[in-house]
Amino acid sequence: MTRLLDALRSATTVVADTGDLEAIALHRPTDATTNPSLILKAVQQPAYRPLLDRVARDHAGAPTAELLDHLLVAFGTEILKLVPGRVSTEVDARLSFDTRASVERARRLIALYAEAGIARERVLIKIASTWEGIQAARVLQAEGIRCNMTLLFSLPQAVACADAGVQLISPFVGRIYDWHKKSAGAQWDEAAQSGAQDPGVRSVTAIYEYYKKFGIATEIMGASFRNVGQIQALAGCDLLTISPDLLARLSETDGELAPALTVEKAKASGAERVPADEISFRTRLNDDAMATEKLAEGIRLFSADAVKLDALIEQAARG
């Protein structure tokens, strides 16, 4: 009998969403993604504390922001020893509304990877899908620095990212599901809102249909899953980035898995062109309460974890 994880690999590129090197080695994903929250979680484990101490020691006297970048690249470099593909490393979320600073930070991360002997083709720079972040990605992509746009909750964000020529987008599934479940309160019907009807799944499906119908080359990587059903409902998506606990569940469960998303079905969909200019982007995003709230909340949460990570770095730097 086929394991669900192996069945998924035949339809979709499997990516690990973690900074836990042991989990990556165990589940053998093609790529891996990180973010400030995942690195914060990893660096607090005894197994990975030496990475933090080494960065503080090797770059003693450097500003905290530079130490943070060195730490992110240290984790990314170790991850790339375990995966055949790419690692996603995130620009500080506190720069989400600063195009120039985001570009400069991304260039520095790529330069640090280059110093470590890592080709830029193996690195995706993660940037929040604000208008400013998308414009930063436009500049970076033109320079050959590939970007992964995160905190993406809506089709207008996806369309603007495609217009900027980004390499990959990470539309969130679980956080959309969370918002709708909370909004519905006692009226929420879990059975009726599962599988293909899950609001997060529907959002990613709409983006997939749009991209494939109009021949957009940007890769789509579903992210932020709450259960195996959401993953199964998006089998066939270009990539799916999955937490270690759900990867474990997939690897322990027997079952077959037919692609739920296909290019053929997407091309036959009713997707219609959406404008990608700034006013349309801001207006449509503002009209979507869920996307507006989750984008703002995501930036706040990642920024808060970046502050905590700064504190740990400064503590390590003091010895």
Task: Give the per-residue pLDDT at 319.
Answer: 77
> Whole domain around residue 74: which residue ranges?
4-317
3-class SS of residue 266: helix
Task: Give the per-residue pLDDT at 1.
Answer: 67
Structurally, the chain folds into a number of domains equal to 1
| pLDDT at residue 10 tops 90 | yes
Task: Measure the CA–CA gap between 116 and 73, rounded to whole angstroms.
Answer: 9
Beta-sheet strands, E only, within the chain: 13-17, 31-33, 87-90, 123-128, 147-152, 168-171, 219-222, 239-242
pLDDT (tens digit per residue) in 84-118: 999 999 999 999 999 999 999 999 999 999 999 99
Which CATH number characterizes residue 53's domain? 3.20.20.70
| pLDDT at residue 299 tops 70 | yes
For helices 289-317 and 36-43, angle between their N-to-C axes, nearest 10 degrees: 40
Q: Which sequence positions are flagged as catalytic?
A: 126
**pTM reported for the whole predicted model:** 0.97
| pLDDT at residue 232 tops 90 | yes
- Position 178, amino acid: D
